[in-house]
Structure 1
Amino acid sequence: MKKSTFKTLLVAFLAISMFLVGCSSKTNQNSDDEKDPVVKEETPAKDTLVYGRGGDSVSLDPISTTEGETFKVTENIFETLVSFGEQDTTINPGLAESWTVTDDGLNYEFKLRQGVKFHDGTEFNADAVVFNFNRWMNGNEEQFPYYTMFGGYKADEGHVIQEVTAVDANTVKFVLKRPQAPFLKNLAMSPFAISSPAAIEKQGEAYRANPVGTGPFKFVEWKENDTITLEKNADYWQAGLPKLNKVIFRVIPENTARLNALVSGEIDVMDGLNNSDEATVLANENLQVLERPSMNVGYIGLTNTRKPFDNKLVRQAINHAIDKQSIIDAFYGGTAQPAINPMPPAISGYNDAIEPYPYDLEKAKALLAEAGYADGFTMDLWAMPVARPYMPEAMKVAEVIQASLAEIGVTANIQSVDWATYLDQAKNGEYDAFMLGWTGDNGDADNFLYTLLDKDSIGSNNSAMYSSDELHDILIQAQTEVDEDARNELYKKAQEIIHEDAPWVPLVHSIPLLAAGKDVVNYKPHPTGSESLINVEFAK
């Protein structure tokens, strides 16, 4: 090839290359007023809620415990025949679409939802309901402590339910021996959720850690004292629900540590917000404070079968020795209410004519002297190892009580143990005095007075071992009475008896606080402390 020809071709090649480079530059870098839009990758929608709580569950079979941390979880795995309102204890349809009651209050017939399945794929039907109730009524206090809400067990004289039968596949009938005014409210309580019969028969004792219900979330995994993981029930009978894909319940014992985890984004919701930390949360634009409707009581139980608390005068002295208002000012931000009776004022039948035991150290000393303990005595005071809605800082409250008792010559040695053991030993009457509390399950006076202080409830929720035949007769009459005004008068009389006998020191009715990320929406705290997360989601 001649040099002239080569040069001509080279120039032409370079010209074409420059033109192509120029074209290429134009496609990737337009002029300032003609820029291509930047394509951003969309962040996946957040669909896992991490719930920080103070203690672990003790079982995931809801009928096998009376403990609130269990119900926080099981409320989302299981469902009951009837259900409470979103933030109250009105009765609404649940697994039963409708029901009828005879005029004498002895026969209840429930029409069940059709097409509902348990998480293991088996059918929910009338036979499943009968199976569950037969299982419970043929058990005992050790197995199914909450079933005492129905007057004991099948062999007990006071047992309310005569029989439960399947009329057909979608109809179940309850026949009662006597009317029970709070019967429907009892059925709505978390412990009486319906389990899969097939799963119970397959798992046996292991069912406590392998729950199978019909609820919006299915159980996945339990790492004890760490996390419990639930996932969305894709076959749930309510279309479009739940809105979350996964829920993780995480144990963080200390309230302050839980708040730190919320601030750092490790968790999305926390219960047990200290009143002293409320301002910190409100000042954080990424967080919100949630208030639980109050329906609780925090108390010091005095085990009536242990000396010296078998003496009423000693129990009354302890009531006079504790400055409730100072405790409320120090640990509840001054927002709680000093407790006078074992049930909160919001419950129908509350006796507001009863005068509180005044804080009076001299009166307390005089009562001790009259009881034969002029020089005082030594006792153990057991403090809860976990924060509870009615007592967010139990150990600090115990220290204040310890100092107060020292003023009247009583030496209180503070003790504690893990939560499951604490509940078990308190229930068995092994403690001199213990700190506990109660969040109402159904909004009825029966759920406080009968559940916590009737002799039928010794071995379940009456950890003070208090027994009064007079009280028992009144409470059974109140259960049977269907006239609301007459029931209320009976409960007022019951509170007078309890106040005089002083089996407890009622301490406080709190307004529990929770905190959550600002992006958590549709979270509605329930007064029972066991809310469904079915409608909760994250802001888009």
Structure 2
Amino acid sequence: MNKVSFASSARFISRLSLGAALSAGLMMTAMTPAEAAKTTLNLGMSVEPTGLDPTIAAPVAIGQVTWQNVFEGLVTIDQTGKVQPQLAKSWEISADGLTYTFKLRTGVKFHDGEAFDAAAAKFALDRARGANSVNPQKRFFASIASIETPDAETLVLHLSAPTGSLIYWLGWPASIMVAPKSAENDKVTPIGTGPFKFASWMKGDRVELVRNGDYWNKEASAKLDKVTFRFIADPQAQAAALKSGDLDAFPEFAAPELMSSFDGETRLITKVGNTELKVVAGMNNAKKPFDDKRVRQALMMAIDRQTVIDGAWSGLGTPIGSHYTPNDPGYKDMTGVLPYDVEKAKALLAEAGYPNGFTFTIKSPQMAYAPRSAQVMQAMFAEIGVTMNIEPTEFPAKWVQDVMKDRNFDMTIVAHAEPLDIDIYARDPYYFNYRNPAFDALMKKVQETADPAAQNAVYREAQEILAEDVPALYLFVMPKLGVWDRKLKGLWENEPIPSNVLSGVYWEE
């Protein structure tokens, strides 16, 4: 790729300017002043988004480009994971939890000049919840029975049942506000209310955003004039682009084994933060022998989680014992429920009728953490007489078809990226084929209250059930591995929601 770094461009332009000044006979008695802070950013991503509208497709890369940069929501989620007002400046919830009244900001416009008001908000929510909706989180809006707009500043949601997570869900990328006139084309030409405007998309290479000079929130206006998202899949190429200065930042560096290669780089710093990426080996709970809890427990006890982390992700990760991360409210450490114990695992298998073990296949998506984890698990299972064959599976298309749609699998392994998605074990259908009425009741109970303390208590009970039942083998939380220029400030070190929020990013002078 013919790429010239901003720094080299600036020096080239500076030399041209100096030459022109001298040739014009101007007296230069001093060197040019110190360079002002940069206002452009070249940011790397491993995966190119399939489109740019997070309300019509699930891949997280979509939101990592456009959420909070181009698009905004009624509320947002900050870098600590907390909900904050955004296009809605305030809201009230009725005592019965069935009516949500939002007061909207005034004077907000979409990038094409269309007004954001209650009518536009109603349009966006109706589009997300409608019969023809393809929103990847359509379930978020299922309890909205009707929407009223008493005036341009007021939006009223009437619910069919209490939905304690609604405000949190409204902060997600799938819940962003889109405009009636432009929504249809947001996949390729996104138009939002955010601090950056879409400029161009060179497929296979880059997306460019430019500063929105008319942004409604003057206190949070972008400090960068231009951001270029560069898509580089190969980790070695990612590292080379960072070291050469071709890239300024790679907030989600894809190769933990290469992190040490940046040691001694004076221009770059490395960061190890938290994410919501829960690596789990999901089992088909409707299929023998995984329909027997004792078998699932035996497999869990055959696994030394830290050894998996060492082998799969260079020791960078946090062991988990349930489908929950230490970042999340209500977290309870469940790694001690079924700890690594080969002899107990063998005894459980014998008790379940498999004294000589059994053979099965794991469908492993071709993303670095999956086959590496599978290979370590394969050796551990052999210790208890279980043979696991590894079948590489193209992701996402083949994996989605085989696992999510057809349920044609024994075991698989994948990193679940959605925050607080413990409720997937109550979804019907979902690929685990897990059925537990007690767990389902807890997920219903979470929505019956908007009180965080009460919700956290329920979440702890839910974690206890999953740790004991093991519908999936709970392995580790992947870290957020960041590499960027030392002078670059404001990038999120942790990731409570998959994103690259750039409104607060700037260069030190």
What TM-score does the superposition give when structure 2 sets the normalisation length? 0.84
Give the structure 2 partner of residue 188 of structure 1: 171
Q: Distance in 2 between matches of 1:311 and 1:229?
A: 52
List gaps (5 residues or longer) in structure 1: 1-27, 29-34, 154-159, 388-392, 442-446
Q: What secondary structure does 1:197 align onto?
A: coil
Which residue of 256, 260, 263 maps to 2:240?
Answer: 260
**Residue 411 of structure 1 pairs with residue 388 of structure 2:** yes
Spell out the pairing of 1:80-99 with structure 2 (5 A cutoff): 80-85=73-78, 87-99=79-91
> Within 1, Cα distance between the matches of 2:400 and 2:227?
26
Q: CA deviation at 1:214?
A: 1.4
Give the superposition deviation at 1:262: 0.7
| Cα distance in 1 for residues equivalent to 2:354 and 2:50 | 39
| Equivalent position to 2:372, from 389, 396, 400 | 396
Structure 2: distance between partners of 1:115 and 1:293: 36
Counting matched residue pairs gives: 478
| DSSP 3-state at the match of 2:107 | coil
Check if 1:538 corresponds to 2:507: yes
SS at match of 2:181: helix
Q: Of 154, 159, 165, which residue of structure 2 is paired with 1:171?
A: 154
The aligned runs of 1:98-497 (5 Å cut-off) are 98-139=90-131, 143-150=134-141, 153=142, 160-201=143-184, 203=185, 207-239=186-218, 241-270=221-250, 271-272=252-253, 274-352=255-333, 355-386=336-367, 393-407=369-383, 408-419=385-396, 421-423=398-400, 425-428=402-405, 429-441=407-419, 447-450=420-423, 452-456=424-428, 458=429, 462-497=430-465
Q: Deviations over 1:300-320 (max 9, x none)?
A: 111324444334333223212
CA distance in 2, matches of 1:415, 1:353: 30
- Take 1:44 and 1:139, find their aligned partners in 2: how far apart are those partners? 53
Contact 2:364 2:390 in 1 (8 A): no
Residues 353 and 278 of structure 1: CA distance in aligned 2, closer, same or farther (over 3 Å): closer
* Whole-Å separation in 2 of the counterparts to 1:493 and 1:40: 65
Q: What is the identity, as a one-letter code, of the residue corresponding to 2:238?
A: R
CA distance, structure 2, for counterparts of residue 223 and residue 479 of structure 1: 42
Residue 380 of structure 1 contacts residue 414 of structure 1 at CA under 8 Å; is this kept in 2?
Answer: yes
C-alpha distance after superposition, 1:514-540 (max 9, x if no partner)? 010123122223422314101212233
Separation (CA, whole Å) in 1 of partners of 2:254 and 2:183: 37
Per-residue displacement from partner, 1:186-209 (whole Å, max 9, x unpaired)? Answer: 1111211111221234x4xxx433
Match of 1:529 in 2: 498
> Partner amino acid for 1:235?
D
> Do the aligned partners of 1:231 and 1:247 also contact (CA within 8 Å) in 2?
yes
Aligned residue in 1 for 2:9: none
Q: Distance in 2 between matches of 1:137 and 1:238?
A: 28
Task: Indicate if the aligned counterparts of 1:253 and 1:386 stay in contact, CA closer than 8 A.
Answer: no
Of 461, 468, 483, the residue aligned with 1:500 is: 468
In the TM superposition, residue 77 of structure 1 has moved relative to its aligned partner by 1.6
Cα shift at 1:371: 4.2
TM-score by length of 1: 0.80
Superposed CA deviations along residues 400-427 of structure 1, whole A, max 9, x for unmatched, are: 1222233323232231314455456543
- Kindly provide the CA deviation profile for residues 203-224 of structure 1, in whole angstroms up to 9, marking residues without a partner as x: 4xxx433322211222333344
- 1:317 aligns to what SS in structure 2? helix
Matches of 1:246 and 1:430 in 2, distance apart?
46
Fraction of identical pairs, as percent:
32
- Counterparts of 2:40 and 2:299, CA distance in 1: 47
- Flag the 1:413–1:509 CA change in 2: closer, same or farther, 3 A: closer
* Cα offset, 1:137, TM superposition: 1.5
Distance 2:299 2:266 in 1: 45
User: Is this contact kept in 1: 2:91–2:101, CA < 8 A?
Assistant: yes
Q: Are the counterparts in 1 of residues 319 and 335 from structure 2 also a CA contact under 8 Å? A: no
Q: Aligned-residue CA RMSD in angstroms?
A: 2.9
Higher alpha-carbon deviation: 420-429 or 116-125: 420-429
In structure 2, do the counterparts of structure 1 residues 44 and 481 end up closer, same or farther at CA, with 3 Å as the change threshold? closer
User: How far did residue 437 of structure 1 move?
Assistant: 2.1
- Contact 1:47 1:246 (C-alpha < 8 Å) held by counterparts: yes
Q: Which amino acid aligns with 2:279?
A: G
Q: Partners of 2:31 and 2:464 in 1: how far apart?
A: 73
Task: Report the alpha carbon displacement of residue 117 of structure 1 after superposing the two structures with TM.
Answer: 1.7
Q: Distance in 2 between matches of 1:218 and 1:163?
A: 32
Work out whether residues 82 and 94 of structure 1, in 8 Å CA contact, stay in contact via their aligned partners in 2.
yes
Query: Following the alignment from structure 1 to structure 2, what is the Cα–Cα distance between the partners of residues 252 and 416?
Result: 21
- Is the Cα–Cα contact under 8 Å of residues 489 and 507 in structure 2 kept in the other structure? yes
Check the 8 A contact 1:216/1:233 in 2, yes or no: yes
CA radius of gyration, larger in: 1
